Amino acid sequence: MQTNPVIKLVEIHKTYHTGEVDVHAVRGVSREILPGEFVAIMGSSGSGKSTLMNMIGCLDRPTEGRYWLDGIDVSTLDRDALADIRNEKIGFVFQGFNLLSRTSALENVEMPMLYNRHRIAAHEQRDRALHALELVGLGDRADHHPNQLSGGQQQRVAIGRALVNRPSLLLADEPTGNLDSQTSIEIMGVFQKLNDQGITIVMVTHELDIARYTKQMVVLRDGKIVTDEAVGNRLNADVELSHLHEAQQAVRLA
Amino acid sequence: MRIFASFRIAGRALRRNKMRSVLTMLGIIIGVGSVIAAVSITSGATKQVEDRVASLGQNVVTVFSGNFTSGAMRGGWGSAPTLTTGDSEAILQNVPNVVAVSPEVRDRAQVLANGLNWNTQVIGESPDYPQIRNWNIAKGSMFSEQDVRSIAKAAVIGKTVADQLFPNENPVGQTLRIRNIPFKIVGLLESKGFNLFGQDQDDVVIVPYSSHMHRITTRIYVNSILVQAASTEAISKVQSDISDLLLSRHRSHEPDFTVRNQVELMQAATATAKVMSILLAGIASVSLLVGGIGIMNIMLVSVTERTREIGIRMAVGARGNDILVQFLIEAVTLSAFGGSVGIGLGIGASRLISSLMQWPTLTPVAWIFIAFLSSAIIGVISGFYPAWKASKLDPIDALHYE
């Protein structure tokens, strides 16, 4: 059986014209990502990973090349059509969580459904939002506001929001950048579970430790892919967490 | 489509910043409130003047006899008697769109009844008089055409005369002596109060004009002729027709009479109130404008402050239009809600003024709609620029806005 790629990038270029100098942020990236993949995009700052991420996330358009998302050529779509694609096909998780303040977790998760092209009944929105919160282990915190939640919990709400429109792709931009190491592992555990359920995940990170929880590492340098390899001795979040607990117990006993 | 969702989003955003929303609305509340209060007060005053003018009668054209000139001395209108009851009959028969006429003769006289006496205005009229003056008979009835022809000694009296001569008694059926001639009281008029010039309209005795001219006085001319036109639109035509008719009847080139209508009187009387209302509405509109600028200011601040929120919304699939509509609805909600509160407050304030200062106030329904609509329009206008600015944000820049 042949599976269609979720993402198909063909010779993607992005050039910024800032003043007199042209900045070539991305210079010819071609890559397919199949359903069920869990890819980490790595690279130092200025490697073009954020630019590539923005294009994959349909927030920006390539200056050259073609991009098919879920079989749709999105490289030529206009602003409104891109907004619709983002709504239906992509779930975003950001470094800074980007939740609406003074708005309950449930309402934050419901938000993408307000912009769905197909009207979703209020009770269905609620049911789906609650279900998404349960999926990330926050079913009992639905009415909490972001300032009543820890960083890890806020990021879980953000993941719930990313999942609520049942996207074909989950895009995470430094999702653990603002979190301590234990919480980072917990969040990676959430991603691993979602990936086990068949959700395709692309994640930008500059931390090798975090990238080792994914299945595939793509390294960018100067706007080009320099390494693209499967993760050797992949880490399992559950195992790492129990190691961490044992270590903590040991410290306490000592 | 998704307008309902936009309303929910806007409602949530406004509730998140209650204090600011209320303060922003205050500008519109005060603006609309003062417009409504100003309009209520001036239209109350105008209505009062109009009512007084209307109490003179409906669609009434009055013909006064001409002025008298002797050498260099000129008398006022009515000083030269020229009008006759014949003129009055001719007007009724020949001028189209005339429904009633009453030749009028006026005199003051001492009247006696019931062992009491009272000096009052005694006027001679036709039976059409109550209809022309829009004046109902409270008890009894008006004298008839038959009474005019038979020069009957019948009288209808006003409330003031009744109170003076027949305290706590029914005057109808009793006898009244005018210049020692006994008249039978056949009717009592309803109270009409004071006229535009502060005269007590109820201080009157009305008798058939024929009786007045033959029994009380000896006259061949009448002071004036009251003519009722069929409709307000017909008034000016009736007026000019009467002029033409009387000119030919009096065989003169110069009019020895003058014809006035009520509309002229009404216009003169309400002119001041009109100027006042324009002035007040002008001042109130300025405060409404200031309120609108306040909304625009707050919406601009709000867009800048919520740039990141706009970025998030765009990232999860909000189109530029969704953002535009959201901010527009926020602005319109602020102004329309403020407008509604202002309307309530304005009505309340005018009621208060009315009860404290005894001024008549009237809030025209049309103005309530105008005030509500204009506050909503102010919301659209002042909200549009900030909303448009928000909708044009680049999602990537907005997401990384600090």
Among chain A residues, CA nearest to B15: A102
What is the structure's pLDDT at A2? 60
What is the structure's pLDDT at A193? 93
Edge-to-edge order in the sheet of strand A21-33: A21-33, A7-18, A64-69, A72-73
Residues A22-41: pLDDT tens digits?
889 999 999 999 999 999 99
Which residues, listed in sequence order, are joined to residue B73 by a DSSP beta bridge? B70
Contact A57 B5 (CB under 8 A): no
Which of A92, A111, A128, A159 to mutate: most B Cβ within 10 Å? A111
Q: What is the mean pLDDT of residues A179-184?
A: 91
What is the structure's pLDDT at B45? 81
Residues B219-277: pLDDT tens digits?
888 888 999 988 888 888 898 899 888 888 887 777 778 888 877 777 777 777 778 87
Tell me the HSE value of B198 on the side-chain side, using a 13 A CA sphere: 0
Q: Rounded to whole angstroms, how far apart are CA atoms B341 and B329?
A: 18
pTM: 0.71
CA distance A37 to chain B (A): 22
CA distance B330 to chain A (A): 16
What is the structure's pLDDT at B3? 73
Q: Is residue A195 part of a domain?
A: yes
CA distance A235 to chain B (A): 31
Q: Into how many domains does chain A fold?
A: 1
Contact B395 A59 (CB under 8 A): yes
Nearest CB to A114 within list B9, B315, B321 = B9
Q: Is residue A47 part of a domain?
A: yes
What is the structure's pLDDT at B77? 55
Domain of A103 in residue numbering reads as 7-253
Contact A87 B317 (CB under 8 A): yes
Residue B1: pLDDT above 50? no
What is the structure's pLDDT at B294? 87
> What band does B70 get if pLDDT is binned at 50, 70 and 90?
low
Residues B41-65: pLDDT tens digits?
888 888 887 777 777 777 888 888 8
Nearest CB to A115 within list B309, B322, B396 = B322
What is the structure's pLDDT at B281? 76
Residues B273-309: pLDDT tens digits?
778 878 877 887 888 888 888 888 888 998 998 899 9
Spell out which residues of chain B touch residue A146, defining contact as CB-CB under 8 Å: none
Contact A112 B317 (CB under 8 A): yes
Residue B367: pLDDT above 90? no
Q: Rounded to whole angstroms, how far apart are CA atoms B85 and B66?
A: 15
Q: Is residue A1 part of a domain?
A: no
Contact A98 B8 (CB under 8 A): no
> What band does A154 get if pLDDT is binned at 50, 70 and 90?
very high
Which of B1, B19, B316 to mutate: most A Cβ within 10 Å? B316
Residues B316-342: pLDDT tens digits?
999 999 899 989 999 999 899 999 999
Q: Length of chain B in residues, anyone? A: 402
Average pLDDT over chain B, rounded to whole?
86
Convert chain B into a string of H (helix), E (strand) and C (coil): CCHHHHHHHHHHHHHHCHHHHHHHHHHHHHHHHHHHHHHHHHHHHHHHHHHHHHCCCCCEEEEEECCCEECCEECCCCCCCCCCHHHHHHHHHHCCCEEEEEEEEEEEEEEEECCEEEEEEEEEECCCHHHHHCCCEEEECCCCHHHHHCCCCEEEECHHHHHHHCCCCCCCCCEEEECCEEEEEEEEECCCCECCCCCECCCEEEEEHHHHHHHHCCCCCCCEEEEEECCCCCHHHHHHHHHHHHHHHHCCCCCCEEEEEHHHHHHHHHHHHHHHHHHHHHHHHHHHHHHHHHHHHHHHHHHHHCHHHHHHHHHCCCCHHHHHHHHHHHHHHHHHHHHHHHHHHHHHHHHHHHHHHCCCCCCCHHHHHHHHHHHHHHHHHHHHHHHHHHHCCCHHHHHCCC
What is the structure's pLDDT at B72? 63
By three-state DSSP, how is residue A40 classified? strand
Edge-to-edge order in the sheet of strand A38-42: A90-93, A169-173, A201-204, A38-42, A216-221, A224-230
CA distance B43 to chain A (A): 47
> What band does B74 get if pLDDT is binned at 50, 70 and 90?
low
Spell out which residues of chain A touch residue B315, defining contact as CB-CB under 8 Å: 57, 59, 86, 92, 98
The burial class, CB within 10 Å (0-12 / 13-18 / 19+), for B365 is exposed
Beta strands (DSSP E) in chain A are: 7-18, 21-33, 38-42, 64-69, 72-73, 90-93, 169-173, 201-204, 216-221, 224-230
Spell out which residues of chain B touch residue A52, defining contact as CB-CB under 8 Å: none
